[in-house]
Structure 1
Amino acid sequence: MLGDYPHTRVLRDGTIPVAGADCRFLSASPLHTAFPRMVRALEFDVCEMPVATYLMARDAGVPLTLLPAVLIGATHHHSLTRLPDGPELDVRRLAGRRIGVRSYGQTTGLWVRGILREDYGVEASDVTWVTTEDAHVDTYVNPPNVRRSSAGGVAALLRAADVDAAVLGPRAIGVQGVPLVPVIEDAEEAAAAWVERHGTVPANHLLVVRDDVLRSRPDAVTALFRALARGIDETVGERDPATPAGRAVTAGCSDSLARCLEIAARYALEQGLVRTPVDLDRIHKDVAFLDA
């Protein structure tokens, strides 16, 4: 189960074969509807998965192994949005405000809350998070400052003035039917400073494999991963390396990915998405053979 990107399309259409494995590529629209199917029912052998969903599933004991491929990523200082005709918000004074997000466990929300704490001194617990969906991991219990709305979507919360701001991923901002502007006025500059400071771009979607599939067919998993890595390499011209999103797409256990996972794991623990510190060494050791 993979999204539709240049680097996955070449696997889907057979331009890049997966040697020794008979792969059936599935689709879901929207893609995020596939993620609970994977973590709740292990419906697919290999599945694209948001970073936060993976960390939460791992914390809940779901038998999945992370594969070191970033399928999409981006900076998220611009993902905290408001209506252009609404009152301006001081990002440092969001305590007591209501912010909409699809679910508390959404990866864009993970990055935004981490940014708010790290760059602007706003704790996740200072804000009321208004959600329109449950977490992908069905055993997860939201913190007490999370409220569920029956609105049709996050943009609807803004239009109804039920929230002061909303968290929307880069792909979602342009399809909401309303123009939105970043709450952080210098979002692009602030994002560039974050990337420079951390030496990585926030990953949104990685790749996971069921543990039983990895045990029974490591050859097929390796073949798929190497085909994807080749796809990422051969479609580099279809991404803009001048943008964080263009640089984010990678395959392999790089220093950048290690830093990204370390930050995401820390944010997840701070925000109550996971109960115990993430064993990053174990995650890296589980997939070290892919770089051999």
Structure 2
Amino acid sequence: MIPITLASTLTDRTRPVLDGRFPIPGVALTHLPGEPEDIFHRALRDQAFHVTELSMGSHIVTTARGDSPYVGVPVFLSRAFRHNAVWIRTDRGIAGPADLAGKTIALLAYEQTAALWVRGMLRDQHGVDTRSIRWRIAGARIALSPPPGVDLAPLGESVDVALTAGRIDAYIGPRPPKGALEAGAPVARLWADPRAAEAAYHAATHFFPIMHCLAVRKDVAAAHPWLPMELFRAFTAAKNASVHEMLMTNVLRVSLPFAAYDAAVQTQAMGGDPWPYGLARNRVEVEAMIRYAVEDGLIAESIPPDALFHPSVLDAPDPGP
């Protein structure tokens, strides 16, 4: 049994591995729970974990540059539609996505996966020239030089302060800005009905945007080349069990009153497996993410999706729940 530290958020997709229901053969696992921002920072700065949940945006950038300390496993622990992540000042004449052209928009990090997806959607679905936007950054996980032709600079204050004071026109981020929660604040979501926008986006693209993957530190993968496949098998089995349990509606397995309804809607829209793992079932989506990274100036040229993942798991199948 080899001792392995694994850093991840706690979700219905990870708990069945972490509580021992789906053990990883040959591994004595120590789980280090946390929130994504802290996990990514420690993983990318200090290589602090043997196995980690990792931002796909950062993973694409560091892999393309050749300085990634981790190699991926196509276990996509986090996915999220991001139309709900775009917040605007309501006093700037922004009536729709096209009106973001030429505006000043804050991000937590330029390479953040949520921002990568939103910029890609703005270009592909709405024809927005994202290089006309002034991007202001509140932080960064990795060293990044401003891409040529991109107006990228530090924000110099918190997003909440800048948005409330009107020094930026919009914000893209996974958590609502505090100003949006204050009564009467001139801040609102760009899409008034983000769920409808996200459903339409999925129907048009069949993408359920990938946010995070599982990754193994390269020295650990080199010493134990069987580990990536065992991780894939355990986490895939855990996810499939979780999805199956969610669809069991005789007794609600999650504390959401309308879970049965939502599960039926989800099944109709996405089929019975909304959370596919494995590169084969996600190749087109990963290719889109790489293209977005090139268009954003995050990477100089495209890389094949295979470059992001350990060779042993490139053809690993996900049979679904």
TM-score range (shorter-chain normalised) is: 0.7 to 0.9
**How many aligned positions are there?**
283
Deviation at 1:284, TM superposition (A): 6.1
Equivalent residue for 2:303?
278
Alignment partner for residue 142 of structure 1, among 146, 155, 159? 146
Whole-angstrom distance in 1 between the partners of 2:210 and 2:82: 10
Whole-angstrom distance in 2 between the partners of 1:198 and 1:215: 37
SS at match of 1:7: coil
Equivalent residue for 2:314?
288
Equivalent residue for 2:171?
166
Deviation at 1:202, TM superposition (A): 0.8
Equivalent residue for 1:51?
56
Whether the 8 Å CA contact 1:88–1:183 is kept in 2: the answer is no
Whole-angstrom distance in 2 between the partners of 1:282 and 1:103: 23
Larger deviation, residues 264-273 vs 6-15 = 6-15
Equivalent residue for 1:251?
277
Please give the residue correspondences for 1:205-220 in structure 2 after superposition, counting only pairs within 5 Å: 205-220=212-227
| Change in 2 beyond 3 A, CA 1:247/1:155 | farther
* 1:197 aligned onto 2:210: no
Whole-angstrom distance in 2 between the partners of 1:252 and 1:218: 18
Q: Deviations over 1:91-147 (max 9, x none)?
A: 21222211111011111110111111112221221101111102x222x21234112
* Higher RCO structure (Cα 8 Å, ≥6 apart): 1
Q: Which has the larger radius of gyration?
A: 2
Larger deviation, residues 188-197 vs 246-255 = 246-255
Deviation at 1:64, TM superposition (A): 2.4
Alignment partner for residue 97 of structure 1, among 89, 103, 124? 103
Letter in 1 for 2:277: A
Letter in 1 for 2:279: C
Deviation at 1:191, TM superposition (A): 2.6
Equivalent residue for 1:176?
178
Deviation at 1:281, TM superposition (A): 4.0
Please give the residue correspondences for 1:12-91 in structure 2 after superposition, counting only pairs within 5 Å: 12-28=18-34, 30-61=35-66, 62-83=68-89, 86-90=91-95, 91=97
Q: Deviations over 1:20-59 (max 9, x none)?
A: 211111123x321221322233221111111111101102
Letter in 2 for 1:205: H
Whether the 8 Å CA contact 2:280–2:317 is kept in 1: the answer is no
Equivalent residue for 2:184?
none
- In structure 2, stretches of 5+ residues that fail to align are 1-6, 182-186, 247-253
| Identical aligned residues as a percent | 25
Whole-angstrom distance in 2 between the partners of 1:35 and 1:283: 16
Task: Give the structure-1-normalised TM-score.
Answer: 0.86
Letter in 2 for 1:22: A
